[in-house]
Amino acid sequence: MSLDVARIRAAFPALDHGIAHFDGPGGSQAPQPVADAIARTLTAGISNRGTVTAAEQRADAVVRDARAAVADLLGADAGGVVFGRSMTQLTYDVARALAKGWGPGDEVVVTRLDHDANIRPWVQAAEAAGATVRWAGFDRTTGELDPVEVTGLLGGRTRLVAVTAASNLLGTRPDVAGIATAAHAVGALVYVDGVHLTPHAPVDVAALGADFFACSPYKFFGPHLGALVARPALLESVHGDKLLPQTDAVPERFELGTLPYELLAGVTATVDFIAGLLPGAGDRRTRVTASMAAVEEHEDRLFDRLLEGLRGLDRVTVHGSPGRHTPTTLFSVAGKAPQEVYEKLATLGVNAPAGSFYALEASRWIGLGDAGAVRAGLAPYTNQDDVDRLLAGVAEVCA
């Protein structure tokens, strides 16, 4: 079955403004059911988690429901779902905690393809511990990350490999499973940035071989916070800094302060919405997987049209051509600064921002410097008219 895009679009009030949104890689639009769930929770009577009052019980149920929802989305164990302010914050927390066991001679591998949130926390933690950082490059022309670039750096002192499941700049989807297999063979942990993959394809953290997998619900219709999943047994072995009265139970030991209950209710509503993108039967995990497979097919079809149109414009350069990718492209227009293209498209009701989007190492590696280029990313609510408007806008810029 294919997605009913018109039905999906009707759930997003923001789309009534008439804007063609290609800014989803930086944060998607949110459907009405997510906003409703947040509002209901804020007004329902809620307090800190507990078992005595109805307000306490309600808060506790919200947290448990959100953990179960994220577990269904990612194929994870609900007991290993950790929430935080952002993926960046969660990664810093894990990096600092793991680095307590590192020392001189230990090694950490990062890739130049990654968003800085899966580079800098590891670089800084390694430096503080006296460990060595090893850098994996990628093909500057295609945007592909050959697994050998990572596996060739592994050794007996490799403690962790940080790798993206999909580049937020070029859309590249590396062979994470292959990299993880090699990393595990030398006893290293694998930390996967799943922020850009999760909105576009079915995710199975076990199949990826991820020891830690981090994502951001606001990239897939949800509220602004971060989520991290890992095996509960692995989390039991990690000890970060926390307040003395705070429980040492997993996963709560990693959640500093009071959780944003209303946002967690929004996360549950988000996963339920995703599960309903494609009508069908079965448990939520089954429906999520089917829906995301349909999303992937829909986005791939439209993305082929977008790439063909961009490559047909004489002054446009599309950066990278990875074989396996998300529906995200980075492009430049000869003679035009990226910001100028971005601003012109905005006047035409097309949101396609410009920059390096915190993938600073990747942008510099392919010669675009800190300014980057223009990025266009598709979402499940993107339709053919949106794509045609973007192509017409870029053609106008070229003219």
Residues above pLDDT 90, as percent of the chain: 100
pLDDT digits (tens, 9 = 90+) for 348-391: 999 999 999 999 999 999 999 999 999 999 999 999 999 999 99
Domains and CATH numbers, the chain: 5-30+293-398 (3.90.1150.10), 35-274 (3.40.640.10)
CA distance 246 to 253: 7
Backbone angles phi, psi at 29, to 5 degrees: -75, 165
Quick one: pLDDT at residue 222? 98
d(CA 80, CA 256): 16
The pair of three-digit structure tokens given for residue 390, joined into one six-digit string: 């973007």
If residue 98 lies in a helix (H) or strand (E), which one and from where to where? helix 87-99
Q: What is the pTM of this model?
A: 0.98
Q: Which residue has the tokens 């001679």?
A: 105
Average pLDDT (67-86) is: 98
Instruction: Pull the structure tokens for residue 362.
Output: 């990747």
Give the distance between the most distant pair of CA atoms in the chain.
Answer: 68
158 backbone dihedrals φ, ψ, rounded to 5°: -70, 125
CA 7 to chain centre: 25
How is residue 112 written in tokens?
């130049």
Name residue, tokens 């994870």: 76
pLDDT at 1 over 90: no
Q: Are 358 and 115 in contact (CB under 8 A)?
A: yes
Query: Judging by beta carbons within 10 Å of its beta carbon (0-12, 13-18, 19+), is residue 335 exposed, middle or buried?
Result: exposed
Task: Give, as one character, the DSSP assignment of residue 240.
Answer: -
Residue 110 φ/ψ, nearest 5 degrees: -125, 160
> pLDDT tens digits for 296-348?
999 999 999 999 999 999 999 999 999 999 999 999 999 999 999 999 999 99
Residue 94 reports pLDDT greater than 90: yes
Sign of torsion over alpha carbons 128, 151, 237, 62: positive
